[in-house]
Amino acid sequence: MEGNTMSGHLDYEINKELGECYLFMGELDKAEEYYKKAVSSNGIHPDPYIGLATVAIQRGDLENAMAMYEKAHNIEPTDKSLSGIGLIKMENGDKEGAFPLFMEAARMNPENMVALFSIIRLGHELDRVIEIIPSLVSALEVNPGKHEVRYSLAGCHVCAGDNEAARVELEKILEADPEHEAAKEMLAQIQS
């Protein structure tokens, strides 16, 4: 029995990898075939369901994509499953439902750019900018060189009425990249 479990795991890994390769190459039918094999060889991992959700999204089948993200999420909630469900909710017009999912995804993985850019967008659209500032700060603690995140954080500070905090963030960007036009423009606006 020991050998059988080992070979099942190996089959799973091989099929999952092949699914990822075919997905990367844009061969959706082959990707779907191998993700389904991965699911049937060892159905306790969320990754093949995330892959199947991605295939469904590429085909424009949001209903099936949502079902696959939810299966993955039920096996093991990850920042990817949360972001996927959030994106579909957003696409279907449920911004209030999507926002907490992206916030949780960003908390789980501060480097999840889908989650970060989604909370930035929704934070502004839903007038909840103050709530997203801690997520952006966390992302910058992990990767201080992400100028687009720091620029967004500066914008959030301006929206929150804290021009001084915005100035600090903009100066950090310009210290690393003196030619950053957007940062120069925002700094000039808040100093005028």
The rounded distance, in Å, linking the Cα atoms of 89 and 95 is: 7
The answer to whether residue 115 is domain-embedded is: no
Give a yes or no: residue 22 inside a domain. yes
Q: Is the pLDDT of residue 42 over 80?
A: no
pLDDT tens digits for range 73-103: 999 999 999 999 999 999 999 999 999 999 9
Give the mean model confidence (pLDDT) for residues 24-51. Answer: 90
Residue 162 maps to a domain: no
Amino acid at 83: S
Expressed as residue numbers, the domain containing 53 is: 1-76
By the 8 A CB rule, do 158 and 166 touch? yes
Residue 99 is encoded by which pair of tokens? 């926002």
Is 108 a domain residue?
Answer: no
Is 122 part of any domain? no
Quick check: is 133 in a domain? no
Longest Cα separation, the chain: 74
Q: What angle do CA 21, 91, 34 make, to 5 degrees?
A: 20
The pTM of this model reads 0.85
User: Does residue 140 lie within any of the structural domains?
Assistant: no
- Evaluate whether residue 59 is within a structural domain: yes
CATH assignment of the domain containing 21: 1.25.40.10
Q: How confident is the model at residue 3 (pLDDT cuts 50, 70, 90)?
A: very low
The structure tokens listed for 33 are: 């075939």
Percent of the chain residues past pLDDT 70, beyond the cut: 95
With a cut of 70, say whether residue 137 has pLDDT above it. yes
Total domains in the fold of the chain: 1
